Structure formats: C-alpha cells, structure tokens
Amino acid sequence: MKKKRISIVDYGVGNLLSVSRAFSYLGQETELISEPDKIENAEYLVLPGVGAFPDGMRELQSRNLVSALCRYTRSNRPLLGICLGMQMLFDMGTEHSETRGLGLIPGQVVAIPQTNLSGESHKIPHIGWGDLNFSASTKNLSKNLPQACSVYFVHSFMAATDDSFVVASTSYGGWKIAALVNRANVWGAQFHPEKSGQVGLEILKNFFNDSL
Amino acid sequence: MPRIRLIARLDIKGANLIKGINLEGLRVIGDPNVFARKYDEAGIDEIIYMDSVASLYGRNSLSAIVEKTTSEVFIPITVGGGLRTLEDVQRTLRSGADKVAINTAAIRNPEFITEVANRFGSQAMVLSVEAKRTERGNWEAYYNCGREKSDRDVVEWVQEAVERGAGEVLLTSVDREGTRRGFDIELVKAVTTKVRVPVIASGGMGTIDHLIDVLNRGKADAVAMADILHYNRETTPNIRQRIKQSGFDVRTT
C-alpha cells in the first residue's frame, strides 16, 4: 500500500512528536508544516495542540494559518483536530476571555463544570481514560473499534455543540462530554488518540484510510 | 465509582530495567523497552520511568530509552530521576514523555515546582516523594534515592507542593519498596485525605490483596506496580478483574 503523507500543523503549541510518531508507527509518512501554502497543499491534515484556547488561536493567526486552514477544509480533504486543535474548530472559546475560533463546526468551548452532576466538587482537569459512547452511525473514525473502549483525556474545557456533530461522547462526573466530533470532512478528538493505545491507533488508521 | 489507574513503574539504571529493595541493592531485570511494550499490550494504563541513580550523579540518561519507547508504545509516560532544570524538563517532554516526576530538585528549590507547572502545565508536573516513617509516627521526605533526609514532614511537603502547582503525587514508601509486604496504607491515607490531586501509591505490593487494601483504606487514585509485574507474579488482566470485583472501576480495554 502506498504511504500516505500526513501533514501535522506546527504552530509552536503542544506535543507534535507523539502525534507524528503514532502515524510513523502506522507506516505513514509524516511532515511538520507551518506555512499557509503547505497547509493548502496537504493531503491529510492534523491540527494538534495543548494549552489555552486564546494562545492557540494567537499562534495560528501570527503565522497566517487561519484562512489557510479554512481554505483547506473547503477542498473536502480530511482535517483532524486533537485536544486544543479540536476545540479551535468551533466558533468560540471562553477560556480566559471570549476568543473566536476557526468556525468550522458550530458551537462553543466552555469550562467543564466544577462540580459533578450531584453537585460535589470533582477533579479538574479531567485526566485519565474515559469510555467512548458512540452515537448511531458507526462508520467513519470508529470503524473496527470494539463496542466498549476507552481513550485518554487531559482537558479542562469542552465543546458545547449540537448532538448532530457529536460522533462519540464520554462521561465525566456524570456530565456528557463531546469526545469525537465531525462535520463533513472536519473531525475533532477531545482525547489524545496518540496516547490511547490500540484504540487510538485504530482511530488514526481510519483517518488516513479514507473511511471517512 | 472511582476509576483506578494501573501504572507500571520501571526503575532504570543506565540502559537496564532494575529492581531494588528499599530503593537499594539493585538487580538487573532486562531491557526496559521490552517490558514497556509487554505491559502496554497487557493493558496497563500508564508507564513511569524512574532513573534510579541519576540524581546521585547529577545526570539524566533516560532520553534515549524514552524516545525508543514512545515510538512503539502509545500510552501516557511519566519520566523522573535527576531532572534539575527547565531545560531538562523540556528535553524530557520533547523526547516523548507526557509528565515529569520531580523530587530532589523540588526539595532543594520548591519554586521549581511552580516554574515547571507554569511553563508546561500542572498536569505534567508530578511530585515524586520518597517517604520514610519516623519514630514520632509521621513520615519524612527523603531524596537522592531515599538516601538523604530533607527534614520535611511528608504530608506538609505534599500540601505545599500542590499549592505550588504539582498536579499529581507519586508517593513511594521507602520502607516498603521492594519488600512485597504491602503498601504503607497509613502513609497513603494521610496524604490522600489532605490533597485534591491524584495520588499514586508506590512501594510494597506483594499481592492483589495489598492493592485492594490501598484502594479501600488508603483511598489511592492510582497504583504503581513494579516487581509484581516484572517477575510475572501477577498479570494485568487478573489485577483488573480483581479490582472490578472489589467494586472499583478500571479502564475498558
């Protein structure tokens, strides 16, 4: 099988290496890119990220990557946002201050409630392995996954979006949290597929194997 | 129902996985990468690499091992031992680690905890504590592989470190480490009842009953296991099964 070229956006934020190593482990070619024209010419684009929403958007803007990302997605080629990269796909972030996101999926990014559903305080950030609950459609990124599986989360904020964009959710303190989101060719994982063992690798494999 | 994290702790000396008793008398066990892969396949939740003598010699040689492991094993990895500067931390995270565990450098300069947390996030700043029981019935924090006294009370030290930004605590009982006599439950309980961040109980697991005990009475959030895994005395699937039967939750694999 011909190697796919996975382009990973390097905008000075986060753990690109783990993402890149995971794709290499799966036998694909990876490159780190930070120029607008390279983004527009990518075949499979991954937007990773760790940290705060305003910092992430500022770094994208300072490199003139916002409109390049939007143009890329209009071409119908797949985009996968991971963690902060997933959050920035939405219209608006509310971390520290209201910050405009990429606006590729309708919704806002809000803080995980400080208490669990029963009103008791719980630990924030949400760190650890959470179960994925898939909505009806099981094609796409969840292909070949077991019915019950869990993935690794590290986050304090979460996407508030219409259920129709949520492919899989997890539960934390009784709250439903969007774990995997999708609109057309745009995908987002709140969890870290590159740190989620075999399940995470399977999701990455589905991403470049055109099962979208 | 709390979800318990099962962590394989691999103590490293040079290029080898080693195991000691009371953090001393080290014995070579094998290639750390081979063991890390094996534990990942068996469904362990996380891996801790601890360079056992790095802080004694003021060096850290784990990067090459971490780099190799994180090219093949895709679960969270914590690395500790001899990390003294922000550059050391950055290099370790760049080589593929998700978190760093810090003891000696934090005791010498508690402000270092804040610097690491501010720069890399609290979730990456794990306070490593080597605790020894005193005659007065409390515990004292040691450093340099349990060899040097800090004159700090463990519970007070952990509270201070959490205020300074530590996001997690790796709590090792030097008295129990490598003895298979069970965790120091009172130590774990003394810490878990005082801080809100997750506490990993480490040192002394001889049987699965010991583990269940430190969850029930010690209220540990996670457990670090070493020789019970290294010497194949128990398997991860078995351990998971028993934890579930005891009314705790574990990751779905």
Spans of chain A, pLDDT less than 70: 1, 136-139, 210-212
Spans of chain B, pLDDT less than 50: none
- Give the chain A residue nearest B168 (alpha carbons): A127
User: What is the pLDDT at residue A177?
Assistant: 97
User: What is the pLDDT at residue B149?
Assistant: 93
Give the residue from A90, A103, A182 showing the smallest Cα distance to A136: A182
- With CB atoms and an 8 Å threshold, state whether B74 touches A50: no
A192 is a catalytic site residue: yes
User: What is the pLDDT at residue B217?
Assistant: 98
- Give the chain B residue nearest A15 (alpha carbons): B94
User: What is the pLDDT at residue B14?
Assistant: 86
ipTM: 0.88
Nearest CB to A200; choose among B74, B121, B251 = B74
Contacts of B3 in chain A (CB under 8 A): 128-129
Does residue B160 contact residue B106 with C-beta atoms inside 8 Å? no
What string of DSSP letters covers chain B?
Answer: -PBPEEEEEEEEETTEEEEEETTEEEEEEE-HHHHHHHHHHTT-SEEEEEETTHHHHT----HHHHHHHTTT--S-EEEESS--SHHHHHHHHHTT-SEEEESHHHHH-THHHHHHHHHH-GGGEEEEEEEEE-TTSSEEEEETTTTEEEEEEHHHHHHHHHHHT--EEEEEETTTTTT-S---HHHHHHHHTT-SS-EEEES---SHHHHHHHHHTT--SEEEE-HHHHTTSS-HHHHHHHHHHTT-B----
Nearest CB to B70; choose among A21, A149, A150 = A21
* pLDDT tens sequence across A6-59: 999 999 877 788 999 999 999 999 999 999 999 999 999 999 988 889 989 999
Cβ atoms < 10 Å from Cβ of A67: 14
* Catalytic-labelled residue, pool A59, A83, A155, A202: A83
- Give the chain B residue nearest A201 (alpha carbons): B74
Burial of B57 (0-12, 13-18, 19+ CB in 10 A): exposed
Phi-psi region of B14 (alpha: psi -120 to 50; beta: other; left: phi over 0): left
Tokens of B49: 């690499």
Does A25 contact B at CB distance below 8 Å?
A: yes
Does A51 contact B at CB distance below 8 Å?
A: yes
Interface of A with B in 106-145 (CB under 8 A): 121, 123, 125, 127-129, 131
A83 is a catalytic site residue: yes
User: What is the pLDDT at residue B15?
Assistant: 87
A9's enclosing H/E stretch is strand A5-9
Residue A78: strand, helix, or coil = coil
Nearest CB to B74; choose among A22, A125, A150 = A22
Name the pTM for this structure.
0.91
